[in-house]
Structures are given as C-alpha cells and as structure tokens.
Structure 1
Amino acid sequence: MGEAGPINVPLYSDGARSHTTHEEFTQLFVGSIDQGTTSTRFIIFDGTGQPVASHQHEFKQHYPQSGWHEHDPQELITSVKICMKKATGKFNDMGHSTEDIRAIGITNQRETTLVWDIETGEYLYNAIVWPDTRTKGMVRDLKEKEKAMGLDLRHMTGLPLSTYPSSVKLMWLLQHVPKVKEAYDAGRLAFGTVDSWLLYNLNGKDRDYFVTDSSNASRTMFMNLHTVKYDDKLLEFFGLDKTKLHLPRIVPSSDSEAYGMMADGPLQGMKIAGCLGDQSAALVGQQGFTPGSAKNTYGTGCFLLYNVGNAPVVSKHGLLATIAYDFGGRRRPVYALEGSVAVAGSGVKFMMNNMGFISHSHKISELAATVEDNGGCVFVTAFSGLFAPYWIDDAKGTIFGITQHTQRGHIARATLEAVCFQTKAILDAMEKDSGHKLQGLAVDGGMCNSDLCMQTQANLIGIPVDRPVMRETTALGAAIAAGFAVGIWTEFDELKAINQKDRTIFTPNVGLEESAKMFKKWTRAVQMCKGWLDPDENGGDF
C-alpha cells in the first residue's frame, strides 16, 4: 500500500472515527485462522492488509478406501492452536503486544462434514472431506427421488445433487456409523461444517456459539438460498428430523457478538468476529465487492467466484449459486456464481508423490518448461469425477495423446493446463448465466505462483490475469470480516488500496484461433473420459 496520505477510518466499535494515517494503520492488527484442506495457518495482519506474523501446520490426510478422504477432527483443533501459539510468539518477539490484536477471523475448507455429541462434545466419526466420493451411489438414488417428487433443489439451494455438499455426507454417516445414528435417535447429534466445529471448540464447547456463517451454510443443501434459513422441505428430502438433529445457528459473516471469544491459549478472551468459507474469504480478500468482479483460487482444488449482487442467480449452465458474504447490519447478503475444479494443486502433488516426476511441488513449472508445448497430451484430471460446469461423477483421470515421444515435461504441462482448461469452461458458463463478459480475473492460491500456468490461463481465456504479490488473500478476507465487525473499517471503499501494490498482470500472447483449437481438443477429451464407472460398480460405497 502506497503512502496515499490520511484516510478517515473508524478505530472504535462505538462508531467514533479518527483521522488515521498509514503509519497508524500499521499498528492495528487482526488475526486470521485459515483452516484448509491440507494445512492450517494463523496469520496476523496489520491495518494495511500486510502479514506481520504467521505459522503454518500441515496435518495428516486419511484415505481409508478408494474415493474416501477424511480428517481427524481433534487434529484440526490442535493444528489451529499450534498455529495461534507459534504465530503469536513471533508477534510478541517483534515487540508487539497481543492486546494490540483487535479481533480474530476464521476461514475454512467448506462442505467438509463433522458430527459430534452436543452434550459431551465428543466427535463421533472422522471429518468427511469435501472431495470425498463415497456417496456416489446415494447421489444417484437421490437424483431419482428429486425427479419423482418434482423438486428443483438447484433453485432452492443453488447446488446440484452431487457428492460435493455436506447433506449427502451426513446421510452416509447416519446410515453407516452406528454411533452417529444412536446420537441422532437420542436427540444429541450435532452436525456442522469445519467453521462450526472450530467455533464450538475454541469457545470451550459453549453451545451458545454453536453457529455457522451464511456462506458456509449455503454449502450444506439444508439452507434455502433465497431465505437464508434452514428449509423444512430440504431437511425432509434428506430424511432428517430437525427435532433430533442439532444444526448450527446461521449468522452473518461479520458480527462482533455471534462468534464468542477464545476460551484459552495465548489469545484467551480475544473476540472472534468474522467467519467465511474459504472461497468467499478469497473473494473478499481480493476486494470483489462489486457485481461483475471475479477471483480464481488455485489451491488443492480450484474455485472461481463471480459477484452477482444482492439476488441469487441460479445457473442454467452447470455452475453453483452461493452466498459470497454477508456483512450484516443494514447490508443485504451478496451472492455469487461459483465454478469448482476438483483437482488443481492436488494434481501437482499427484505428479510428485505418486509418479515421482518432481521432488517439490514448485518444480512443476520447471519441468513443464523443458518442452515447448504439451506434445499432444491432454490430461483430464478427473480423480474425483469432474465438477463445474460438467458434473460428471463417473469420469476418471485420463491422459490422451501419449506416444513414444511423450516426455515427463509434456505430462507436467498437461497437468497445469487441465486447471486452465476447466477455468476457461467455467468462465464461459458464467458469461452465459450473467450476460456479461469479464474484463479481468484476480487470482490467488499456490498454483498461481507459476508464471507458466498463469500465462497459459490468460491465453486460454483471452483476458488479463491479475496476480497480487501478497497471496494470502483467503486469510486476509477473514481478517477483513473480523475488522469490519469491530469497526476498523466500515465501508468497502476503505479497502481499495489494500494489497494492490506491485501486482503482476498476465496478458494473452496467442491468437484466439490457437486458444480455441486447444480448448476444442480439451472438450473432446472430456467427452471421452466419461463412463469409466459402470452402474453396478460402487466406487467405494458400502
């Protein structure tokens, strides 16, 4: 952030305003818990949006069967506490006081499903992680049920029936884990996504803070997207009795009272004031506050969000509709169209861990650069089926175009390109749904560190790709939500200068005809990768 001179911003939650300089902003701090799919981070930002201290902790991934993906719920809590302790220690070593941290925000992996006993706080099964596909057979049956009942779940929830949302994961748990069914029958079963599990535990298992924000609630298929409330018809469709099931209370993403405070640790008593699902947080962190703004996060998966304003747009072209954020007060919820790619950074890890092509994930670009192009290889990375805009559950990962001349570099390049092709398909669908062509795309996440990948992306979509220097935009979004709640900022205009310095713009350097030819080949490969799972195969279902 440049020295733009004094900016009038609020410093106090009672509405008092102070003529605050850039230098004074650097002495205002907000903490951010970023609980992701493979690791947890705690980052302390100053009032200009710059990270001051941070710590990251990776935790174990559990794959008990093909298509299954789980986390240890206690390890999620432990990872958060480790990160907070380590980052706060670094912050103190720099001469700062923890009392200078005004509030904490939380952002989390979405759809991941947890269940616990509301009376004891004991978790009843591992967390089922968002890419898990054990519910394929169940989803097929539910689609038939939806058709027979004449329902339109996509219109009600913004989501299609798939293995993706939390609802089908909870159904699986009730049908296959006796402890879960026993707790449900006894009226003690608590269901939550990762945000609810963290908040419940960080508040010392205080049931007053058994809550979720609306961006996370919109990923469960239990919440009506139009009313922003749990819907009895939806609960009934999934066979759930709300008198037996404890659901977290839905609250705004930014709220100074709803989320409680830290019950213990170095930040004991610190207010938790903001919460956003990770992709919503990234949109906020990229200042995507106006309709038509968009961001793409290249993480374990790849998620593109497009701000559509204060009314939901239910996609006709295979996208999800979701709540982007809800900053409460007199503001109405803001909605987004979303496209999800299941495999992005996880494809790079596959090349490293499973195939041994590279020793470190950042080496993928170097390997891809050893060849001029993909050598005719197209890699459809459908490890968990294909998400938006295709929604092909029975696709499997498939490499086309291999010859005796194919080298590792060609496959590495095809791995990066797979993410770019799917992003292009999502953007095309967004343009059809919204009626507007995007002018640019803000990017973040680990894979955007690759210049080769980002240049390929710009070439395929034909518009500039805008990459910030500080790429912890997901954590920054949660910090912004918390900062709004305690009065550090009150208007989105006050955030315009945050994280804007020295951004890199990738502009297309190939013709439209060449990019169209590449995309046509990708589209053909997608059609050819269908149907690998026969109807009588269960793919890991019981």
Structure 2
Amino acid sequence: MNAPRVLAIDQGTSGTTCLVVGVDGQIHGRAHVDVAVRYPRDGWVEQDAEELWRSVLAAARAAIDDAGGPAPVAIGITNQRETLVVFERDGLRPVAPAIVWQCRRSADLCAAHRDRGEEPSLRERTGLLLDPYFSATKMEWLLADQPALRARAERGDLCGGTVDTWLVARLSGGAALVTDASNASRTLLYDLVRGDFDDELCATFTVPPALLAEVRASAARVAVTDPDAFLGLRLPISGMAGDQQASLFGQACLQPGMSKNTYGTGSFVLVNTGTSVPSPVHGLLGTVAWRLGEQDTFALEGSIFVTGAGLSWLRDGLGLIAAADEAGPLFDSVPDTNGCIFIPALVGLGAPYWDPAARGALLGLSAGVTRAHVVRAVVEAMAYRTRDVIEAVERGAGIRLEELRIDGGASVMDGLCQFQADLLGLPVTRAGSAETTALGAAMLAAVGEDLIEAPTGVEAAYRPGRCFNPAHPGERPGEQYQAWKEAVERVRSHQKSQKAR
C-alpha cells in the first residue's frame, strides 16, 4: 500500500518550493516558483505579499500535477522567518508591502530601545537580541510611519504576522488567523516561559495585542483550506514551522543535543536543547524549535551571515570563479591555504560575535598564494565559523555534540564536509535530500494528522546521505583554530554596545 502523501509548502525569500511527500519520506513531486525582492531604499527590503501567495498557488498546483497518483491528505507549511505581513482581517488585503527579514529600516528604533536599557530583559524573556532582523520593530516602525494603520490595528481590523499567518489566512479563506510557536518566538513579542505573546512585550514596542494572531502548535490541525481559495481542494493544514526549525525537524534532530547546520547564503546552526527554556547564552539566540501538543521544544541558534555569499563575492566581486560549483574542485586542488585566512565579515559578524561593524579580510597573503588558495580559504571559513558557533553552544548548554547533520547548497562539497568533520572532531552527516526544510514541514503535518508518531515515525522517514568521519575522533585541532581566532580579533570593531549581548 502506498504511504499517504502530504503537500509541503516552503515559502522562502527567493521563491516558493512545493513538494508532494509520502509520510515515509519519499518525494513524489516538486515545483518551484521564483518571487521578486525589492530594495526601494538603502537597507530596505520588501516583497509583494500577493506575489508570495500567487507563487504558493502556482507551485502547489505544479507539484501536485508532477506527483500524479493519490492526492495529498494534508498540508505542511514552512516559511521565511521574521518577515512581516499586515493585512485586513476582513477581505485579506495587504495594507503595506511585506517587510522582509533582511530589512534594516528599524535599526534606529532598536538603538533607542537599547539605549533605554531594555535589551537584557528582552534577552531573558524572548531569547532574542534587539535587532531589525526580528518582527517587533518592523511592526513598531510601520505603525509609526502610518498612524491610520495604528488606529485600525487597535480596533482589531488588521492582522500582523509572519508569512505562515498570511498563507494560512489565504488558504483558509480568512477562517483562521494563526501562527505556530516557532514563528511566534521570532518576533520579540513572545515570552518563552509563558509560551504566548505577552502584553508587556507588546507595550515595549507599542504593538497593539489585537494585531496579533493566535499561537498554535506546530503539529496540529489549525485550519482547513477553502476550495474556492485553494485549487478546489479541501485539505487540513496540520504542520507549521519557521524554515530553520523545520530543517531541524526534517533532519530528525528530535533529541536534546542533536544539531544541524544549513550552509546556504549564510548558515544557521541549531541545537535541540529539550523542553527547558534555555538560558541566554552570549552571542546565541534561544528559540522555540516546535510545539507538539502542549509542549514546546527549544533550540539554541547561531546565525552566520556569510557562507555561500562568500562564493558569490568570489564570482561577482573578484571574478576568481565563474560559477559557485568551481569552488569544490579548486578546494580539492590544494592541500591547504598556504597560510591565507579569510574572515567573512562582509556584512559584519553574526553569532557569537554580533559585531556589525567588523569588516572582512584576507590575511597571510604572500607571493605563493594562488587563486586556489584564496578559494580554499573562503570555503574553510565556513567551517571555522561553524566551529565558533558550535563551541559557543557547547559552553552555554553544557553539552558536547556527538554529530552534526548538514544540508544546504555548499554541503555538496565533499572537501568542506571532511574539513568540517576534522575541525570539530565529530561525524558530519550530509542530508540525503536537499529539501530538508520542506520535508520537515511535511513530517510536522504527518504528525499533526496522526499519520505518524514523533519521534519514531520522523526518524524512520529520515534519509541520511554520506557520513564524513573525522581523522581524529574527539579531538579538535588547536593550533590552526587559534590562528583563526587571532585573525578574527584583527577585524573586530569591539564596539562597547555589543558587549551586553
């Protein structure tokens, strides 16, 4: 008998990917539709919320057609996190462009909150930092910029939420205005202990509580699609999570101490910390990984800004490579970097440093350094930055990782994977599929519909790829990592404002 199928919707910044997935983890159909990103001013990043919705309709239709056979029995959603969509509760019309997670327009508001000494309390309650990355100051900025919207928000006419809220509203024809705990925990408005949006946190950012959606579980039936709105189909929506949390779930990192890293444009290291709220750890974020039933599972997260973006810089900025896929062969063509170290602070340094004023550098250059050495240095930096975060997590959580599961575009490089394993002294397991984020959404929906159980059913559906074992298990090279740390210190700005983080 064929396993029941689930439609997974992965709405990302650059496009929407939909998969039709069996609850056994088998992918039967897929489709992708690009979406545009606008940059109307320096530091501003926007999208058209209606275009996001249209891309979901198109990709879902194409994926279902591609799969053929039995129709999906449920929907799971994963989404770009922190992006804000504000829309009318009646009519579902967006009242402003979607403010994308990358947007920096609320930087001055973050600085003002920090100057008032609010960050330590916010760190304690939300697990996050005061940064434009998160949704609350986006809401604060929009309601200050357009006072008429504030009045409507206070009356309860509007709903403001992350992309999951927008998609469920459209899929259900407006019947459900919900978010899941993982997305809610990325707003600066969600109290990790209470497990809900908090009125005091809303007051801090002058956000009317009436603007917000209802927080629900990540694996539960939260709505049913309206056939008139969604391809003539009536399907339960039973899984929701932010993209990095969905990847953690899709990688079957369901037990405390299990971890994954996604090597994309940047990198996101997440470590499952179990059901206790993590204490604020210097340079890392505390977040909800998912909510199953009434229980939240938490994670520590380290955000690395430049991973694949470093290869893009080599291609577009320096012209050292013509395509990103040249990096792997060039990495393998030399045994080391010939003393060259690349610090990937092209847009500052993320976790665990959080130093936006740091700037990138190529150090240790000599006449013997070739194009291949520079490319290898850029790739090695991905592994060094990952070790930075892993060691911060281990110190903060008091654990020692036993394995790192990886995915993302750069993970196709065998040389990087082996270097990472050797640098960490632990096995690095590459995902068997590049679509772990969408697979995580599918597995959440399968759990939400009781088609499988967690953790056993999710673990059974997990399909690992190649495992890279370290040359010296349990040992981490000290001398070369110390050279890396010294190089990082040479580009740090050491801003006083960063020390409280």
- Regarding TM over 0.5, the answer is yes
Instruction: State the shift of 1:431 in Å.
Output: 1.0
Cα distance in 1, alignment partners of residues 312 and 149 from structure 2: 33
- Which of 66, 69, 73 is the matching residue for 2:49? 73
Alignment CA distance shift 1:231-1:442 (3 Å): same
- Which of 88, 97, 100 is the matching residue for 2:70? 97
Partner of 2:429: 466
Instruction: State the shift of 1:357 in Å.
Output: 3.5
SS at match of 1:152: helix
SS at match of 2:298: strand
- Which of 167, 178, 192 is the matching residue for 1:211? 178
Cα distance in 1, alignment partners of residues 231 and 335 from structure 2: 52
Instruction: State the shift of 1:399 in Å.
Output: 3.3
Cα distance in 2, alignment partners of residues 163 and 525 from structure 1: 28
Residue pair 1:88, 1:266 contacting (<8 A) in 2 also: no
- Which of 95, 98, 101 is the matching residue for 1:130? 101
- Which of 316, 337, 353 is the matching residue for 2:281? 316
Instruction: State the shift of 1:53 in Å.
Output: 0.7
Instruction: State the shift of 1:29 in Å.
Output: 0.8
Partner of 1:525: 487
SS at match of 1:235: helix
Partner of 1:435: 398
Alignment CA distance shift 1:363-1:165 (3 Å): same
Task: Confirm whether residue 342 of structure 1 aligns to residue 305 of structure 2.
Answer: yes
Partner of 2:249: 284
Residue pair 2:252, 2:462 contacting (<8 A) in 1 also: no
Q: How many residues align?
A: 496
Instruction: State the shift of 1:401 in Å.
Output: 3.5
SS at match of 1:305: strand
Task: Confirm whether residue 269 of structure 1 aligns to residue 238 of structure 2.
Answer: no
Partner of 2:342: 379
Cα distance in 2, alignment partners of residues 75 and 407 from structure 1: 45
Task: Confirm whether residue 49 of structure 1 aligns to residue 25 of structure 2.
Answer: yes
SS at match of 1:409: helix
Instruction: State the shift of 1:481 in Å.
Output: 0.9
Partner of 1:27: 3
Cα distance in 2, alignment partners of residues 354 and 69 from structure 1: 21
Cα distance in 2, alignment partners of residues 511 and 440 from structure 1: 11
Alignment CA distance shift 1:373-1:252 (3 Å): same
- Which of 98, 107, 113 is the matching residue for 2:84? 113
SS at match of 2:406: strand
- Which of 247, 261, 271 is the matching residue for 1:306? 271
User: Cα RMSD between the aligned structures?
Assistant: 2.6
* AA partner of residue 466 (structure 2): T
Cα distance in 1, alignment partners of residues 377 and 96 from structure 2: 37
Task: Confirm whether residue 158 of structure 1 aligns to residue 122 of structure 2.
Answer: no
Alignment CA distance shift 1:428-1:125 (3 Å): same
Partner of 2:12: 36
Instruction: State the shift of 1:173 in Å.
Output: 2.4
* AA partner of residue 522 (structure 1): W
Partner of 2:139: 170
Cα distance in 1, alignment partners of residues 245 and 297 from structure 2: 10
Task: Confirm whether residue 223 of structure 1 aligns to residue 190 of structure 2.
Answer: yes
Instruction: State the shift of 1:460 in Å.
Output: 1.7
Q: Percent identity of the aligned residues?
A: 34
Cα distance in 1, alignment partners of residues 447 and 496 from structure 2: 51
Cα distance in 1, alignment partners of residues 43 and 383 from structure 2: 24
Residue pair 1:67, 1:384 contacting (<8 A) in 2 also: no
Cα distance in 2, alignment partners of residues 288 and 477 from structure 1: 10
SS at match of 2:33: strand
Summarize deviations over 1:296-322 as a string: whole Å, max 9, x none. Answer: 122232111111111111233321111
Partner of 1:327: 292
Instruction: State the shift of 1:335 in Å.
Output: 1.1
Give TM-score, length-normalised by structure 1.
Answer: 0.85
Alignment CA distance shift 1:374-1:178 (3 Å): farther
Summarize deviations over 1:336-370 as a string: whole Å, max 9, x none. Answer: 11111122233333333444433433332123334
Summarize deviations over 1:421-466 as a string: whole Å, max 9, x none. Answer: 1210111111112212111111112221111221121122121101
Instruction: State the shift of 1:412 in Å.
Output: 2.3
Cα distance in 2, alignment partners of residues 165 and 119 from structure 1: 26
Task: Confirm whether residue 505 of structure 1 aligns to residue 478 of structure 2.
Answer: no
Residue pair 1:117, 1:183 contacting (<8 A) in 2 also: no
Residue pair 1:133, 1:384 contacting (<8 A) in 2 also: no
- Which of 447, 451, 456 is the matching residue for 1:488? 451
Partner of 2:224: 260
Cα distance in 1, alignment partners of residues 102 and 339 from structure 2: 29
* AA partner of residue 199 (structure 2): D
Instruction: State the shift of 1:420 in Å.
Output: 1.5
Partner of 1:539: none
Give TM-score, length-normalised by structure 2.
Answer: 0.91
SS at match of 1:497: helix
User: 5+ unaligned residues in a row in structure 2: which ranges?
Assistant: none
Residue pair 1:315, 1:337 contacting (<8 A) in 2 also: no
Residue pair 2:3, 2:24 contacting (<8 A) in 1 also: no
- Worse-superposed segment, 67-76 or 288-297: 67-76
Alignment CA distance shift 1:498-1:533 (3 Å): same
- Which of 434, 442, 452 is the matching residue for 2:415? 452
Cα distance in 2, alignment partners of residues 196 and 526 from structure 1: 40
- Which of 117, 125, 130 is the matching residue for 1:146? 117
- Worse-superposed segment, 29-38 or 112-121: 112-121
Instruction: State the shift of 1:266 in Å.
Output: 3.5
- Which of 48, 53, 64 is the matching residue for 1:88? 64
Instruction: State the shift of 1:532 in Å.
Output: 10
Cα distance in 2, alignment partners of residues 180 and 60 from structure 1: 25
Residue pair 2:429, 2:466 contacting (<8 A) in 1 also: yes
- Worse-superposed segment, 516-525 or 307-316: 516-525
User: 5+ unaligned residues in a row in structure 1: which ranges?
Assistant: 1-23, 536-542
Residue pair 2:424, 2:476 contacting (<8 A) in 1 also: no
- Which of 275, 283, 294 is the matching residue for 2:259? 294
Alignment CA distance shift 1:52-1:405 (3 Å): same
Alignment CA distance shift 1:133-1:400 (3 Å): farther
SS at match of 1:209: coil
* AA partner of residue 270 (structure 2): L
Cα distance in 2, alignment partners of residues 415 and 467 from structure 1: 20
Cα distance in 1, alignment partners of residues 129 and 490 from structure 2: 23
Instruction: State the shift of 1:267 in Å.
Output: 5.7
Residue pair 1:124, 1:179 contacting (<8 A) in 2 also: no
Instruction: State the shift of 1:181 in Å.
Output: 4.8
